[in-house]
A and B are shown apart, each in its own frame.
Chain A
Amino acid sequence: MPLLSTLLVRTALGWLAAAALMGALLLAGKAVPMPEAVFQAFPLHAEAMLVGWMVQLAMGVAYWILPKYPRLPERGPAAPIWAAWLLLNGGVLLAGLGRSMGAGDGTVLAGRVAELLAAAAFALAAWPRVKAFGR
């Protein structure tokens, strides 16, 4: 597995571990009293589970598995993938943690824009690797 895939997949696993803990506390909070902070974590739970875990895992596996180039660098330039990793995780923090900590709409918007830019950077790098065998 290439370095950038390990970075994306391990970060995704980290988000899964954290989001599962938040989700367990939120679910248990429907049955037993919990501190208010637990319920405030709901936006971060949702953002971390969907974007931090599932989206990021898909990106990491796609970067690893998609057809390679016959020349070096065999998975294309690394810069867009580094940018996607930074933007995606910055976006999850801004949008998820920001909303959970009561930040304004501007912070959440900035997070979602960062996630959009991450998607654009990733798509730019992945697009030419989606091709028929032997090309």
Chain B
Amino acid sequence: MPTVTRWFVRSALVWFLLALAAGVLLANGMSARVPGTSLILPYPTYLHLLTVGWLTNLIFGVAFWMFPRYTAEHPRGSDRLAWVAYTGLNAGLVLRLIGEPAQMSGGAAATLLVASAGLQLLGAWAFVLNTWPRVKVK
């Protein structure tokens, strides 16, 4: 399994746990106070921990590993793009996990949310760019 795939899949597992823990907190409503803090966790954060953190990381990691070879010299396309996808997706999600509850709690989080949006978009597009040429008829 390539190094970046291990990072994708292990990160996916961590996000999986965090997402379901958030689901426990949100069992009785669309937002909930994070215990021991003044932060409010909103439902969209939970949903994105699950769909971006768990599902998308797992998909990206396994696709990078298992999809058809690009060329004999570069069987998985560009390692650099794969790392951009990993970093963008996960750094963006971390910023969202901090920014959305901060904003819900009345804090200033505009920069965090804009940076989160940009990083996740960069991650997704890097994955598409690297994967597209590997999706080909054999």
- A24 in complex: contacting residue of B120, B127, B135, B138, CB < 8 Å: B120
- A3 to B67 Cα, complex, angstroms: 14
Q: B136 on the interface (CB 8 Å rule)?
A: yes
- A23 to B127 Cα, complex, angstroms: 16
Range of interface residues on chain A?
Answer: 20 to 34
A24 touches B128 (CB 8 A): no
- B125 in complex: contacting residue of A3, A10, A20, A57, CB < 8 Å: A20
B110 touches A20 (CB 8 A): no
Residues of chain B within 8 A of A59, CB atoms compared: none
- A25 to B100 Cα, complex, angstroms: 15
Q: A93 on the interface (CB 8 Å rule)?
A: no
Stretch in B1-9, B20-28, B111-119 with 4+ CB within 8 Å of A? B111-119
- A5 to B99 Cα, complex, angstroms: 38
Q: B13 on the interface (CB 8 Å rule)?
A: no
Task: Give A6 Cβ to nearest chain B Cβ, in Å.
Answer: 5
Interface of B is mostly: helix
Stretch in A26-34, A102-110, A116-124 with 4+ CB within 8 Å of B? A26-34
Closest to B138 in A: A1
Q: A126 on the interface (CB 8 Å rule)?
A: no
Q: Contacts A32-B114, A49-B51 given: A1-B136 contact, CB under 8 Å? A: yes
- A56 to B113 Cα, complex, angstroms: 29
Which of A6, A13, A21, A24 has the most chain B CB atoms inside 10 A of its CB?
A24
Q: B39 on the interface (CB 8 Å rule)?
A: no
Q: B96 on the interface (CB 8 Å rule)?
A: yes
